[in-house]
A = this chain, B = another copy of it.
């Protein structure tokens, strides 16, 4: 059997070999980081080193890092903390309508409590929130704007710097879900004047089960998990030492790798995109042509159901996805493409290819060889 071709880096990334080595070497580091004796101190020090690594990587000298189990937890932690402040009014939040499911579901939950209201901003057909819409949505009760850095399905970047200026002009808290941006574009917590940033390890070559929040120093939010005083009393529970160590090592590695690999990933993405759009009829590229994560390609193959294409490609040894793969077995139509106002035939036939550090030219050539006849065959069969 030929080796598999993995083109779903936005869903999750393979463990980087260097991090696999780090993990294996760190397995004996078992002390409870809260314990005062040697084994505990070693684990504690390793965690603090990782914390510093996050601070440096995200240029966040005036922030602190809260390690969590995943970005979904991070997003829930920030958004639900709104429920427990003594505002004296019903607080209002502004998010985009194409946020990750953990943001949207947490916001919908907030609404059910009737203790918060939420505006879900529309996006352009290219998947961007407009600063004007952010401005217009602000009310006297608005307390927090939470907009993703880059969308997981189409890769579109949001105008965060402009949104930040608006947020700060109105003294509002600003948070971003940076899961899909980390390691792919330069990110400065400081320059963006952020209050919160959430991230995940398994989208940047570290293992699953580790994520975090970068939070402006001086802010306090109600814990989602109460208990021990871990993570400076922000998040109880014995820390995932191995995951934290791997994440801390992943970031400088990304810096190094991206410098080398970034031009190649860019050219391979272009090659794949041009190749598909030029050789397969009735295809279109969704999302923003330039303000995007280059390694994310969302392409519609009109007349086909994306699911059948995913299955056929899987059988041919190629792993791609239909938009967000974070929800188990969900074959619901993409709410992202719907919010972008794309027609049904475009939404239903949209495939996401996402490239990463280990994507090779050979793999892209192979996809470009296999895909066109596969699409023809499926189109014939579905007629």
Contact = CB atoms under 8 A, between A and B. Distances in A.
Say which size band chain A's interface belongs to.
35 or more
A358 to B, nearest CB: 11
A-B pairs, 5 with minimum CB distance = A209-B240, A102-B227, A69-B69, A72-B237, A70-B237
Identical copies of this chain, number: 2
A23 B73 CA distance: 24
A187 interface: no
Given A106-B227, A229-B327, 20 more contacts: A12-B31, A12-B238, A23-B23, A32-B202, A34-B328, A37-B314, A37-B319, A38-B314, A69-B70, A72-B226, A72-B227, A73-B225, A76-B224, A76-B227, A76-B236, A102-B236, A108-B226, A209-B240, A209-B241, A209-B242
Interface in A231-279: 236-243
A281 to B, nearest CB: 25
A212 interface: no
Interface of A: 4, 6, 8, 11-15, 20, 23-24, 27-28, 30-40, 44, 68-73, 75-76, 84, 100-106, 108-109, 113, 200, 202, 207-211, 222, 224-230, 236-243, 307, 310-311, 313-314, 319-321, 325-330
Nearest to A105: B226
30 contacts: A15-B30, A20-B27, A27-B207, A34-B327, A36-B310, A36-B311, A36-B314, A37-B310, A37-B313, A37-B314, A38-B319, A44-B328, A70-B225, A70-B238, A72-B225, A72-B228, A101-B228, A102-B225, A102-B227, A108-B226, A200-B238, A202-B238, A208-B241, A224-B224, A228-B326, A228-B328, A229-B327, A229-B330, A240-B240, A240-B243
